[in-house]
Structure 1
Amino acid sequence: MLRIIVNNKAADVSLKTSILHEHWDKQNRRVSDMNPEAHDINTYLNKVSSTLQHHYRQAQMEGKHLTASMLKQRFMATGSNPPSLLEIFDKQVKDADRLAHAGQIS
């Protein structure tokens, strides 16, 4: 399970992955090396974390008030696939163009 907390409000998401309790490293919040699938699951967890951080930063840049539920919805809409570098670049170009036309940047 994934718990997203923003301003002390939580939203939970099932990552549809399970392991034995004794294979979970609580301190590092990752699967311990005792589990043969540790590398794959930890890589997946890193992707999930990266995606959530991307959505959080994107909402901040857009000046949107972010809640745990909104972050969960954004995550669920994209799954765990972060946008490609080209998608990020295209969005930056469009945002800069919009700001230039509004006279907010030159």
Structure 2
Amino acid sequence: MPFLNEGDVPWTEPPGHVRAYSRYLVGPDSHGSAHFDFRTSRYPTGGYVEEHLHESAEQVYYFLAGAGRAVCGEETRMVGAGDVMFVPARMRHSLMSTGERELEFVVVTSPPGIAR
């Protein structure tokens, strides 16, 4: 099935996430992708993912709306619509929604199934 509607996929709160939700749209569990997973995420104000790292996965975050504080390695930055964050493997990172509206973004992870 090459098509789906995001609204048909339930929100999940992955381990290490607090009031931080994702919809896993394409990946090993959906569409059988062997090379990446693609998800949309929303963090209400105060929602966050704890600082962590992935041994072999790389991630790209593309921010669509809202505002947040992102930490990647030694750098901390305020992020919002149009910002991109690349997280190499073994780089400690975290993210918290700080704006008045939800922080909305998409994440692509390769290889898939490792970074939840």
TM-score by length of 2: 0.25
TM-score by length of 1: 0.26
Q: Does 1 or 2 have the higher relative contact order (CA < 8 Å, sep 6+)?
A: 2
Larger helix fraction of residues: 1
